[in-house]
Amino acid sequence: MPFKRFVEIGRVALVNYGKDYGRLVVIVDVVDQNRALIDAPDMVRCQINFKRLSLTDIKIDIKRVPKKTTLIKAMEDADVKNKWENSSWGKKLIVQKRRALLNDFDRFKVMLARIKRGGAIRQELAKLKKAAA
């Protein structure tokens, strides 16, 4: 079981602790054994400990410490946003965010929908069982 996601310039990572929790960032330089320089289109470039990053599968093609406009263009060329939102990890996070904002009424409607879906599934299953019998 070799490693597949490496810390390298251009690696897209998710911040998993601190003020920028949940933000997608790009590693643009390595400071030392523990810290990296990260950058994202809507934040000031800063250093962060590797322990605060979760590496993703996405990598973009940039040189060491690019200009902001270069970084943005490279992210668009690699289509980071869509790759992330279509990955199962990214989809999970979007669903989590949406669930957290649900109203009490929304939660009720979700419950009704789940019951309805379960009922439909069970009906189909019963039909199939009957057909197989």
Partner 1 sequence: MAPPSKLSLGIKRASRSHTYHRRGLWAIKAKHGGAFPKAEKPAAAAEPKFYPADDVKPRAPSTRKANPTKLRSSITPGTVLILLAGRFMGKRVVFLKQLKSGLLLITGPFKINGVPIRRVNQAYVIATSTKVDISGVKVDKFDDKYFARDKKTKAKKTEGELFETDKEATKNLPDFKKDDQKALDAELIKAIEAVPDLKTYLGARFSLRDGDKPHEMTF
Contact positions toward partner 1, by CB under 8 A? 100-105, 107-109, 112
Nearer Cβ to partner 1 (1/100): 100
Burial call 34-49: b when 16+ CB within 10 Å, e when fewer: eebbbbbeeeeeeebe
- Smallest gap from Cβ 102 to partner 1, in A, equals 7
- Smallest gap from Cβ 111 to partner 1, in A, equals 9
**Rounded distance, CA 99 to CA 114, Å?**
14
Strand partners, 47: 37
Nearer Cβ to partner 1 (113/128): 113
Sign of CA dihedral 99, 95, 72, 12: positive
- Smallest gap from Cβ 21 to partner 1, in A, equals 15
Nearer Cβ to partner 1 (113/120): 113
According to DSSP, the β-strands at 46-49 and 53-59 are unpaired
Nearer Cβ to partner 1 (6/105): 105
Is the distance from CB of 39 to CB of 71 less than 8 angstroms? yes
- Smallest gap from Cβ 115 to partner 1, in A, equals 11
Q: Is 78 helix (H, G, I), strand (E, B) or coil?
A: helix
Token pair for 45: 């470039």
